[in-house]
Amino acid sequence: MSVVVLLWAAGLFAATAEQPLLFLSAPDLLQARSAVAAGDARLAPALERLRDECREAMAVGPWSVADKKTLPPSGDVHDYQSQPPYWWPNPATADGQPSVQRDGEVNPQSREGDVAALEHLIETVDTLSLGYFYTGGTALAERAALLLRTFFLDPATAMHPHLRFAQVVPGKAQGSGFGLIDTRMLPVVCDAATLLLGSPAWSERDMQGLRAWFAAYLAWLQNSPEGRQARDAKNNHGTWYDVQTAAYALFCGQIDAARTALARFPDRLAVQITADGSQPLELARTRSLSYSLSNLEGLFRLMLLGDRLGLDLWRAGRPEQGTPRQALDFLEPYLGDRTPWPYRQIAPVGHARGMALVLRLAARHYANPAYEATLAAVFGEKASKRRVWLLYPPAAAN
């Protein structure tokens, strides 16, 4: 191993000692990067795709909630605002009010504005930071740092750390706990920022500012009516609330708060999963396979967060009540449209990245290569290009 690689490895270990990763681990990432440097052909397709995605990511953004065209009810452009996806204008009234709900049918207007900016930010920063980690490209780190500062730190463009106006039904003045699902993937940004540590583009002052933002957002999640509503939700909304609060707490060094969130895990399983592995609360939806997969991804992410605290959530739950593995086994035959799904699913399933994540983690933690075979069957010739191989690499080649 070269001196450069050794220093780079030492830098990552030092960074993660002070600022732990959440869904990723330094040993896994360093193993994968060493394998790439050694020419491991198993990771070459995923790295090639990551390089392509980085080239695209360099040409987009930055994004800011301050760019929205319509102000939220507060009148403050820095307040995040979104519209619930399944609410539509009332066809029976001249002004479209009161709005009507059509579960599973996405109103295109709900994909505009702050929600689109947030999703683009998360995806792009994730790509650029991982690209920086694998290639050392300083331009990638500089671009990622610019995106983070614009969205979270620059007073002129930063988002306020709350979601009071997330998924506001048209005609109403404020959102609800359902809106917190908008930030379900936001913890990915925390890992992205950690991967940037050591780059001149992302200073410790930047990191302190980002931690302060997430600490404020965590406090709002814990204490607001919207946060309490999401916490008390029995379905995927409750799961993703726990993912977020546990992740932000770990990122900010609030270990007790993280343990509190993860302590709800067994109770979540008891309510959400039956002995046959089905998730009745998600099966009741018009996109039942999509929601079953989303909730399962949230549970797997909670198990990863448990690993960071030495909590073996992989063994949580009782078979007679249902476990995450049973939930995966229930869904597995239907992934990738290999077998017709017998419940309502009125739109394409999506969730490709979450599906790959769950299958890869299951193969590792349950030591069952059948899940990798499913991953290959679902994604076909593109399976080897999935980013998940760079995050959770196969065992080192002899």
| The residue type at 69 | K
C-alpha dihedral, 148 to 150 to 153 to 157, nearest 10° = -150
**For the chain, how many structural domains are there in total?**
1
pLDDT for the residue numbered 5: 43
Residue 69: how many CB atoms within 10 A of its CB? 6
Q: Which residue has the higher pLDDT, 211 or 169?
A: 211
Asked whether the predicted pLDDT for residue 61 surpasses 60, the reply is yes
pLDDT for the residue numbered 139: 98
- Do residues 204 and 158 make contact, with C-beta atoms less than 8 angstroms apart? no
Asked whether the predicted pLDDT for residue 119 surpasses 90, the reply is yes
- Res. 317 pLDDT band, cuts 50 70 90: confident
pLDDT tens-digit profile of 124-161? 999 999 999 999 999 999 999 999 999 999 999 999 99
C-alpha dihedral, 333 to 325 to 194 to 291, nearest 10° = 50
- Which CATH number fits the domain that encloses residue 170? 1.50.10.100
Whole-number average pLDDT of the chain: 93
- What distance lies between CA 150 and its chain's CA centroid? 20
- Does residue 75 sit within a domain? yes
Query: What value does the mean pLDDT take over residues 192-213?
Result: 96
pLDDT tens-digit profile of 34-50? 999 999 999 999 999 99
Whole-number percent of the chain with pLDDT over 90: 85
- Res. 351 pLDDT band, cuts 50 70 90: confident
Asked whether the predicted pLDDT for residue 12 surpasses 70, the reply is no
pLDDT tens-digit profile of 79-117? 999 999 999 999 999 888 888 999 999 989 888 889 999
pLDDT for the residue numbered 4: 40
CA distance 279 to 184: 19
Asked whether the predicted pLDDT for residue 7 surpasses 70, the reply is no
If phi over 0 gives left and psi between -120 and 50 gives alpha, with beta otherwise, what is residue 310? left
- Does residue 263 sit within a domain? yes
| 358 SS3 class | helix
- Does residue 144 sit within a domain? yes
**Neighbour-count burial for 194-229, b at 16+ CB within 10 Å, e otherwise:** bbbbbbebbeeebbebbbebbbebbbbbbebebbeb
- Does residue 319 sit within a domain? yes
- Does residue 398 sit within a domain? no
pLDDT for the residue numbered 3: 39
CA distance 145 to 206: 9
Query: What value does the mean pLDDT take over residues 318-322?
Result: 85
pLDDT for the residue numbered 1: 41
Query: What value does the mean pLDDT take over residues 383-392?
Result: 97
Residue 94: how many CB atoms within 10 A of its CB? 6
pLDDT for the residue numbered 16: 62
Tell me which residue of 159, 155, 179, 167 sits closest to 78, measured CA to CA.
159
Asked whether the predicted pLDDT for residue 233 surpasses 50, the reply is yes
- Does residue 277 sit within a domain? yes
- Does residue 130 sit within a domain? yes
Whole-number percent of the chain with pLDDT over 70: 95
pLDDT for the residue numbered 6: 44
pLDDT for the residue numbered 17: 62
Location of structure tokens 């991982």: 130
pLDDT tens-digit profile of 296-311? 999 999 999 999 999 9
pLDDT for the residue numbered 329: 98
Location of structure tokens 């029976």: 92
CA distance 372 to 236: 25
- Does residue 56 sit within a domain? yes
Residue 257: how many CB atoms within 10 A of its CB? 18
| 88 SS3 class | strand
Query: What value does the mean pLDDT take over residues 198-223?
Result: 97
- Domain extent at residue 176: 3-391
